[in-house]
Structure 1
């Protein structure tokens, strides 16, 4: 009787561990599903990051573009803002 009790307990423990592997919280299917969700989220994050980078580039271009337009208008066209005094120093 004692010879058969230990193997029976070990088989029962093995069955419990095996059941956890296939049906439990950290099961193979559950981990695979979480990995798919993680991959989808990483893809969405990458697309969002690319969109953010494009928008940041557009904002930077608009800011620098306006400064360049203003500078060119001042140099070539003599643009003066309100309440500014234009002084032309000869060459």
Structure 2
């Protein structure tokens, strides 16, 4: 009986190690999930920075006419009365 006890313990240890390394919730799958979590964190950081920039732009547009005028000039070609519009060709 005493001879089989160490063999049984070694067998149990090997089985537990194999399931830990190769099992459905083992170390390899844990590493894959950890990599996905890191990727999601990086994407969230980029999106958080974008949200901050958009929030700042919204605040600028809500607070004054100068930001609205700047957007209108850049995107819509706003020209006030008395101003002269000059279009500069882009150099290539």
TM over 0.5: yes
Which 4+ residue blocks in structure 1 deviate beyond 4 angstroms? Answer: none
Q: Secondary structure at the match of 1:3?
A: coil
State the distance in 2 between where 1:28 and 1:67 align.
Answer: 57
* Partner in structure 2 of residue 43 of structure 1: 42
Tell me the TM-score normalised to structure 2 length. Answer: 0.66
State the distance in 1 between where 2:36 and 2:67 align.
Answer: 46
How many pairs are equivalent? 68
State the distance in 2 between where 1:68 and 1:17 align.
Answer: 65
State the distance in 2 between where 1:53 and 1:25 align.
Answer: 40
Over the aligned positions, Cα root-mean-square deviation in angstroms equals 2.1
Tell me the TM-score normalised to structure 1 length. Answer: 0.66
